[in-house]
Amino acid sequence: MRKEVPGIEIFGGIDLNLSVGGMNPTAVEHMAAITGGYGRFVWMATFDSENQVRFSKENRPFVRIARDGQLLPQTKAVIAVIAKHDLVMETGHSSAEEGLLLLREAKEHGVQHMVVTHAMLQPTHMSEAQMLEAAKMGAYIEFVYNGLTGSGKQFDFADYAKAIRYVGVDHCILSSDMGQLKNPLHPDGLLAFFRGLSEQGFTQVEIDRMAKKNPARLVGLE
């Protein structure tokens, strides 16, 4: 995309599902070595996370982050690589409690860029108090259009508006999380998201903060 659209700045990442070996610090190292530093994001497991598999009541292998309330050594190793290369840590489909464990460990390692991946959505289901706790540790709280439309709909705009105001615009980012069949394309989803938040009383300055300025700071563009 950078080659096709001169001047655009797009960053990729890695999702630590079973397809890349799960909690695999070597895979993260490889991603960080991409020419130009365009590999910037590290998602903890999503589709294959233990929390997702158990929530979905599926009988299949999964990626484990913690045991008995303690992060596993390989999880800590991944976080160390994230800190080493100044990458962005995303909590993926971890549980709310696992997400907070990840953020505490990341903060101790000096990780500067952290996101709670679509915090309100299943199977994470962070409460407003947990989202505020995460924000106080320096994490951005992600809100996605996918939770408001189509087969993935779990909330209404009013629910998001209440949570965003509780956490604070300065600590939130907006994403589409589109790409599913029958859902809008990413840009169309974002525009619909912005319109809905505007109808909830958010100003254009506030929407720009969550959709532009906070994400730019997240990846070090500001």
Same domain, 100 and 137: no
Averaged over 139-152, what is the pLDDT?
Answer: 95
Same domain, 125 and 103: no
Contact 75, 48 (CB under 8 A): no
C-alpha 15/C-alpha 27 separation (Å) is 10
Q: How confident is the model at residue 80 (pLDDT cuts 50, 70, 90)?
A: very high
Q: Could you list the residue range(s) of the whole structural domain that residue 95 is in? A: 1-117
Q: Which of the pair, 71 or 151, is modelled with greater confidence?
A: 71
Residue that terminates a domain, selected from 117, 142, 157: 117
What is the structure's pLDDT at 151?
Answer: 86
Same domain, 99 and 123: no
Same domain, 29 and 85: yes
pLDDT digits (tens, 9 = 90+) for 171-217: 999 999 999 888 999 999 999 999 999 999 999 999 999 999 999 99
Same domain, 149 and 45: no
Look at strands 66-67 and 12-15 and give their pairing. unpaired
Look at strands 70-71 and 12-15 and give their pairing. unpaired
**Domain count along the chain:** 2
Residue that terminates a domain, selected from 62, 89, 117: 117
Same domain, 105 and 183: no
C-alpha 217/C-alpha 138 separation (Å) is 12
Q: How much of the chain exceeds pLDDT 70, in percent?
A: 100
Same domain, 75 and 104: yes
Contact 23, 36 (CB under 8 A): no
Q: Where are the alpha helices (DSSP H) in 34-140?
A: 50-55, 73-84, 96-109, 128-136
Residue 208 CA: distances (Å) to CA of 146, 170, 190, 205: 19, 11, 12, 5
| Beta carbons within 10 angstroms of residue 11's beta carbon | 18
Q: What is the identity of the amino acid at 59? A: N
Residue that terminates a domain, selected from 98, 117, 136: 117
Same domain, 27 and 54: yes
Same domain, 66 and 134: no
What is the structure's pLDDT at 181?
Answer: 87
pTM of the model: 0.96
Same domain, 156 and 183: yes
Domain of 197: which CATH number? 3.20.20.140
Same domain, 93 and 129: no
Q: What is the identity of the amino acid at 77? A: A
pLDDT digits (tens, 9 = 90+) for 89-136: 999 999 999 999 999 999 999 999 999 999 999 999 999 999 999 999
Same domain, 124 and 95: no
Averaged over 61-73, what is the pLDDT?
Answer: 97
pLDDT at 152 over 90: no
